[in-house]
Structure 1
Amino acid sequence: MSESTIRWEQDADGVITLTLDDPASSANTMNDAYVRSMGETIDRLEREKESVRGVVLTSAKKTFFAGGNLGSLIQATPETRDQVLAQVTLVKRQLRRLETLGVPVAAAINGAALGGGLEIALATHHRVVLDDPKVKLGFPEVTLGLLPGGGGVVRSVRLLGLTTALLELLLQGRQVRPEKALELGLVHELASADELLAKAKQWVLANPDAAQPWDTKGYKVPGGTPSTPSLASSLPAFPANLTKQLKGAPYPAPYAILSAAVESLQVDVDTAFTVEGRYFVDLVVGQVSTNMIQALWFDLNRINGGGSRPAVEETSRASKVGVLGAGMMGAGIAHAFAKVGVDVVLKDVSAEAAGKGKAHVANVVGKQVSRGRMSQGKADAFLARITPTGDAADLAGCDVIVEAVFEDTALKHRVLAEAEAHAARGALLASNTSTLPITSLAEGVQRQADVVGMHFFSPVDKMPLVELIVGERTSDTALARAYDAVRQIGKTPIVVSDSRGFFTSRVFGTLVMEGAALLAEGLAPMSVERAALQAGFPAGPLTLLDEVTLTLPLKIRDEAAKAGAADDHPGVAVLRTMVEHGRTGKSSGQGFFDWQPEKRVWPGLTELFPSSDAVPFRDAQERLLFAMAVETARCLEEQVLRTVEDANIGSIMGIGFPPLYGGVLQYVDQYAGGVAGFVARADELADRYGERFRPPAILLERAVPAGSLRAAAAV
């Protein structure tokens, strides 16, 4: 078996150790080489079964097995459906032959087993996993628009029961650590690195008649099958609960998972694999999985791998960080750096004010301790890394400064200049501004080449994105250092050029203002919200406006007007009317919604903005999507955006663009009829609702057969 991805070793006891080790890759995946190698290995096991007392599967990589071959899956089309079905059927057939070989088979899981990796492990009779909190097991396929197609649905529902498998593993793509996997019954034993193989071999030798539970006569699935009265009575609620969980968004994978899980329990296990395979292939050849794989795997990996980082060879690491401003944002930034072991000086106008910021961090860390996710000792060490102060002299030795004070240019000039004077020589000077041009903020310091925008999103501990903004004088070295700092804290950096609102704030503004405009045109408040939710947005635009406060967009508009950059968006009048009526948002308890004692639409809205049927629901949905897409295309045309990948990941991770479309520019490329179809629809919307929907030149240029924004950016 030359060039095999599986190494075969037989010990004196007759136990075969199969080591997954793809020589052409740093991780094992279900590529063609694996399929060929597994086929050859199973053939040999069947030939030599009389001399085999058992089999142990393990890996030579840091991870056990990384999963499916996404590079192949993303190329699938409806025309290649039969080939995809044949391939996945072959993979399942191989694993089925392994679990019915007639000898005990164990898995020694030495690292992460996600997706296809867990499917391989579930095809063994006994699973021993490395007792390390860094190890994760699960089925993340749903987050890429897929379902586990190598037997993962069939085996997990039979092993854990329908409800547990759906809620704990399949529907949310949850990844569990070894202790939780043991608690669920997903694995059987935990072991140290030294014990792992030994325990697996010991079990194999002690259980010569091992078989899968579903192949054992009389086995009953936990919780029963759909014909079991107690489960049958609860089944009708599953689709409704799923729709509620998804808020009506058109994600096909969760519904396919639910259908495959329920249907697979009504037939024998081999027929169940066929059912699962058909649902899997439906998803693979569909547009949603293509979009999600492109964005959340390929685009994301390109960015995190340094795709937008300048070609500065030396990689830097922050050793001491100064955070200016100890409000919610500053405290969150301090938390992010302290979490990865970096010492942080948290400065505010006084030690007392800075102490309140540290107290916020202590509260977040305390919740982790109370939930058993962190020991008290680690929490104490975590908090000891944060030094609150009101004295700028304490910034001495800081090699990275992150300013997070109020959005006021003069204030930012003052605190950055003060930090520059006290921090380490050559320290990176970053501003967390969300709207103010970095070029103008750099004018407040001596070393303007070291100034970069570092825009975090709230809440910092949960939001994975950071928008890096390049000013006119920002050096490549400064940008590279900022990029490295963001990766150091485990977040994803996108890079944009300097302009008012940059990319994320500018495009987010089009979403919420369009929601306000829809309200003014007669769409009922909850219809505005449902239009967004059913298009795939995580929240409605009126809710989002209340969250950010209605005065903030108005302030941004007024500042833009002073700079001669404001437009006459119809949503502005709605916000001004609301503010005039004292409705400023959630922080005051009253905006579009009354927030106390619970959230409900303010009754006065219908008086200010009477409802009508002037705007069709589909138009409302597409207006929200198109407003963001057209503005993003303008950002690309103006070179505010540098890459399509930055646009797609920034829109999904930063401003809530629906992942099912693969990001805001992928939405344009995949629209019915491609870019040409998008342009035609944008012109329709512009003719009916306003010139803000009129497609810019970059879209017109790409509105040709096979044209795409991704191809345009590459050129």
Structure 2
Amino acid sequence: MTQYFTVESTSDHIRILRMGSPDKPVTVLGEPLLRELNDLVDELSDDKEVQGLVIIGAKKDFALGADINDISQFDTPEETRDGALKMQGILNKLEKLPFPTVAAIDGQCLGGGLELTLACQWRIVTETSTLALPEIQLGLIPGGGGTQRLPRLIGIQDALDLILTGKRVSGKKAVKLGLADACVHPTQLERVALQYATKNKDKKLMALNAKSLSKDLPRWAAEHTPIGRAFVEKKAREMVEDNTKGFYPAPFKALDAVFDGFEKKLEKGLELEAKLFSELAHTRESKSLVHLFHATTAAKRNAYADAGKAKFGDKVPEQVGVVGSGFMGAGIATVLADKNVRVLLSDPNKDSTKRALTSAYKFFAKKAKRGRIKPFELSQKMAHISPGLNTQGFGSADVVIEAVFEDLGLKQEILAQVESRAHESLVFASNTSALPIGKIAAKSKHPERVLGMHFFSPVEKMPLLEIIVTDKTADWAVDRAFRLGQKMGKQIIVVKDSPGFYTTRALAFFMAEAALILEEGSNIEEIDEALTDFGFPVGPITLMDEVGIDVGIHVLESMTEAFGDRIKTPAGLDSVQQSGRLGRKNGKGFFTYEGGKKGKPDESIYDMMGQTRQYKFLPAEDIADRCVYVFINETIRCLEEGILLSAYDGDIGAVFGLGFPPFLGGPLRYVDHLGAENVYNTLKSLEERYGARFSPPALLKKHVDAGTRFFPDEK
């Protein structure tokens, strides 16, 4: 009795295996499915009547890879290696079947699913299929033969492009690479696969053998001679070092597996792959990235869906009003138009609106140039944006997003204008980064329809959306914002209303600490380098210039008003602002700028930060500790106060919105890694030296006393 495979047979003795997980909407290659596949392959090997085999997905997607939970169950690298070897053994049996084998691929074919197809002689894909080896994004390498079979099939350089990035390729691209043998319409997939099941071909993995490469001698020389491979490997390692800055071990292990394995017979290469895979599975980096995978998966569940469905069914907002065509408003409108949402863009400043439309056009033109959209789609995308000088036509919008300057009175005025024309289910969202939503909604006629949608700059690139809800916000209104955020492709967290919410509050404490260290005597480069060496993409001083010095100071003032002496900001920042410095946007900040490019630190900043300031060396570790621990402390406090609804949300917000190093998993996962007691003791030490902002929260002390973790189910 098969559970994961339905077995069929044609009149000419071709077996069809329809693969699908019975208890899940998608197919994953968990241990039970692989065990069943192993038994079926053994039966097929002994059946003398079988003339060919087709493996096809029984669900929308072919397979989404191995079950990450199975991997997490292994306690030691040795157990993990044995698990990888068992999967490899099953696929080796599939590869050695004495008749043609065909993988018929539609939808997503990822990770272990793609490795399964590589063990087949033929791969037929559809125009709607997507193929990838995304293990690198979990701090792993393919463990089911991907680092060995793929380079032998399509060549080392093309294989590395997929293995090192986890990039997804379409069916047509897969054929072009040599990864697939034919690309067909989904309705023709099974018919064509059955035709291929009658064809024999040399089962050696030599699609890029010397004969075919003779048409491309430079590539042949680079991949099929020891000197050429050594050169390619050297360049690949340099690229990986530049891209990862040494924080991620998986890309280096991938290079070891590919280049060392290519020199060996397939069997020995697979053993090497299993060994390297098992070593990575037990690293802090991989565990942290797997943690983020679980966190983002959990965050996709819309807790407000029932309330929205009761009112609107499954309907997603189709028309959105955006008030303000500045940098943020323009970005929001562009992303909405890109997702085919109709946008009403309002701004009394015609020049600002013109710049917004120009920015959107450049965004879509770049996508067209890269082949991500058809040329004719550029005009279609632009047609989704309808500019105007006021909110006159906003009465038909499903959601209105206000993205104007951080002025409470102005935001309240815009809300009143929108409400005067709104229908009964229109949701008003403010893109404020710090003002409490409750204050914005204080004069609202319908506060249950008001919430925050905090986007991050640039909106076109930054993945996070922070939805802020008050005690009065209706669940159906949150659902509207959540569905719209999902439509925009954003990673979403929902937080409770408070000054700075979560992300702005944590970031404010982080940047304020860096500014204090600057005022105390450390140099700009030392501060930035300490945090980039820790793993942040940019240092906090650079970040102030990127955010805008005026915006940063406004936020710090708001935080000071809310938290008093718990947040300490240097007086010297006022002098910096009064000098007319706004940061990158006016080419004048903590750094010098020429032609829009950041240069060296502006030495005059040191005088502005205090006439009596003298250079004082502070070790990089101490700089990083002060900035990181104050960040961690506020994250824990936000969870303790109920601003964060889950620990997962704290890590998602920090990593996807604020640049906290992904290889550490987020501030709360990092606490679990260090140990709550160690973090508590460090905070106490910092509190004694620097003050109340480092005072450990009661929630952290609770974990210390109980010996518990923020994520007790994770190893």
TM-score, L = length of structure 2: 0.91
- Aligned partner of 1:502 in structure 2 is 501
Paired letter, 1:280:
F
1:207 maps to 2:200: yes
Structure 2 CA distance for aligned equivalents of residues 119 and 46 of structure 1: 20
Give the SS at the match of 1:703: helix
Residue number in structure 1 paired with 2:455: 456
Aligned partners of 2:697, 2:580: CA distance in 1, in Å? 38
Contact 1:520 1:571 (8 Å CA) reproduced = no
Tell me whether 1:35 sits opposite 2:34 in the alignment: yes
Give runs of aligned pairs for residues 297-308 of structure 1, distance below 5 A.
Answer: 298-307=294-303
Of 635, 638, 654, 1:635 maps to 638
Secondary structure, counterpart of 1:205 in structure 2: coil
> 1:628-685 CA deviation, whole Å, 9 max, x = no partner?
11110111122221211211111111111111122221111221xx211221222233
Q: What CA distance in whole angstroms lies between the structure 2 residues aligned with 1:568 and 1:452?
A: 27
- The verdict on how the C-alpha distance between 1:583 and 1:216 changes in structure 2, with shifts beyond 3 A counting, is closer
Q: Where does structure 2 lack aligned partners over 5 or more consecutive residues?
A: 214-218
**Cα gap change, 1:559/1:687 in structure 2, threshold over 3 Å: closer, same or farther?**
closer
TM-superposed CA distance for 1:612, in Å, is: 6.5
2:427 aligned residue? 428
* CA deviation profile, 1:337-384 (whole Å, cap 9, x unmatched): 333333221111156654543333223222222322222433323222
Q: Compared with structure 1, are the counterparts of its residues 531 and 104 closer, same or farther at alpha carbon in structure 2 (3 Å cutoff)?
A: farther
- Residues 488-545 of structure 1, C-alpha deviations (whole Å, 9 max, x = no match): 3332321111111111111122333333334445544334333222322222222211
Q: CA deviation at 1:223?
A: 5.4
Matched, 1:235 2:233: yes
The residue aligned with 2:75 is 77
- 1:358-417 alpha-carbon deviations (Å, 9 max, x no partner): 333223222222322222433323222221111322112112111111111111111111
Over 3 Å counting, the alpha-carbon distance change for 1:348 and 1:219 in structure 2 is closer
The Cα of 1:322 is off from its aligned counterpart by 1.3
- Between stretches 650-659 and 680-689, larger displacement belongs to 680-689
1:452 partner amino acid: L
Alignment partner for residue 137 of structure 2, among 138, 143, 168?
143
Residue 291 of structure 1: aligned partner: 288
3-state SS of the aligned residue for 2:396? coil
CA distance in 1, matches of 2:615, 2:511: 20
Per-residue deviation, 1:557: 2.5
Shift of the 37–611 alpha-carbon distance from structure 1 to 2, 3 Å rule, reads farther
Helix, strand or coil: the match of 1:16?
strand
The equivalent of 2:705 in structure 1 is 704
More divergent stretch after superposition (326-335 vs 500-509): 326-335
Say whether the 8 Å CA contact 1:162–1:223 is kept in structure 2: no
Counterpart amino acid of 1:448? Answer: P
**Matched residue SS, 1:30:** coil
Structure 1 residues 118 and 573, CA, compared in 2 at 3 Å: closer, same or farther?
A: farther
CA separation of 1:594 and 1:77: change in aligned 2, threshold 3 A: farther
Alignment-derived partner of residue 447 in structure 1: 446
Judge which range, 446-455 or 206-215, deviates more: 206-215
Residue ranges of structure 1 left out of the alignment (5+ in a row): none
In 1, Cα distance between equivalents of 2:676 and 2:278: 27
The SS at the match of 2:104 is: strand
Aligned to 2:95: 99
Identity, in percent, stands at 32
Q: CA deviation at 1:427?
A: 1.1
Partner Cα distance (1:536, 1:473) in 2: 39
CA distance in 1, matches of 2:288, 2:257: 22
User: Which residue does 2:216 correspond to in 1?
Assistant: none
For residue 152 of structure 2, what is the aligned residue in structure 1? Answer: 158
Question: Which of 652, 655, 666 does residue 655 from structure 2 map onto?
Answer: 652
- Note the C-alpha offset of 1:32: 1.8
Aligned to 2:672: 669
Specify the code of the residue in structure 2 equivalent to 1:468: I
Counterpart position of 1:180: 173
CA distance in structure 2 between the aligned counterparts of 1:374 and 1:98, rounded to whole angstroms: 38
3-state secondary structure, aligned to 2:175? helix
The number of aligned residues is 700
Q: Give the letter for the 2:126 counterpart.
A: L
TM superposition score normalised by structure 1: 0.91
- CA gap of 1:476–1:21, structure 2 versus 1, over 3 A, is closer
The 5 Å alignment of 1:123-522 reads 123-132=119-128, 135-166=129-160, 168-207=161-200, 209-213=202-206, 224=222, 228-248=226-246, 250-296=247-293, 298-307=294-303, 313-314=309-310, 315=313, 316-349=315-348, 353-522=352-521
CA shift in 2, pair 1:526/1:272, >3 Å? farther
Which range moved further: 12-21 or 37-46? 12-21
State how far apart, in whole Å, the 1-side matches of 2:208 and 2:163 are: 22
- Bigger drift between 186-195 and 311-320 goes to 311-320
Tell whether the 8 Å contact from 2:304 to 2:478 is kept in structure 1 after alignment.
no
Q: State the AA in 1 paired with 2:230.
A: A
Q: 1:104 and 1:191, CA in 2 relative to 1: closer, same or farther beyond 3 A?
A: same
Q: Is the 8 A contact 2:566 2:693 kept in 1?
A: no
- In the alignment, residue 251 of structure 2 is paired with which amino acid? P
Pick closer, same or farther for the CA change 1:704–1:240 going to 2, 3 Å.
Answer: farther
Residue 570 of structure 2: SS of its match in structure 1? helix
Q: How far apart are residue 106 of structure 1 and its match?
A: 1.9
2:524 and 2:601 in contact (8 A); partners too: no
Query: Take 2:237 and 2:572, find their aligned partners in 1: how far apart are those partners?
Result: 37
Which moved further from structure 2: 552-561 or 32-41? Answer: 552-561
Aligned-partner Cα distance in 2 for 1:557–1:216: 62
Distance 1:55 1:470, change over 3 A: same
Moved more, 251-260 or 494-503: 251-260
Closer/same/farther in 2, CA of residues 88 and 691 from structure 1, 3 Å limit: same
> How far apart in 1 are the matches of 2:548 and 2:113?
46
Range that drifts further, 214-223 or 497-506: 214-223
- In structure 1, C-alpha distance between the alignment counterparts of 2:205 and 2:617, rounded to whole Å: 60
Q: Does 1:89 align with 2:82?
A: no
2:117 to 100, 111, 121: 121
| 1:452 match: secondary structure | strand
For 1:551 and 1:307, the matched residues in 2 are separated by 36
Give the Cα separation in 2 of the matches to 1:235 and 1:209: 29
SS of residue matched to 1:67: coil
**Post-superposition shift, 1:114?**
0.9
State how far apart, in whole Å, the 1-side matches of 2:572 and 2:174 are. 51
Say whether 1:619 aligns with 2:622.
Answer: yes
Label 1:282 to 1:376 Cα distance change in 2 as closer, same or farther (>3 A). Answer: same
Whole-Å separation in 1 of the counterparts to 2:605 and 2:441:
46
- 2: CA distance, partners of 1:550 / 1:518: 17
Relative to structure 1, is the Cα distance of residues 540 and 567 closer, same or farther in structure 2, using a 3 angstrom cutoff? same
Distance 1:669 1:289 in 2: 15
Distance change >3 Å, CA 223–CA 159, structure 1 → 2: farther
Q: Which amino acid aligns with 1:286?
A: T
Judging changes above 3 Å, is the alpha-carbon distance between structure 1 residues 154 and 3 closer, same or farther for their aligned structure 2 residues?
A: same
CA contact (8 A) 1:102 1:211 kept: no
SS in 2 for 1:213: coil
* Distance change in 2, residues 1:158/1:522 (3 Å): farther
Instruction: Output the aligned Cα RMSD.
Output: 2.7
1:582 to partner: Cα distance: 5.1
SS at match of 2:187: coil
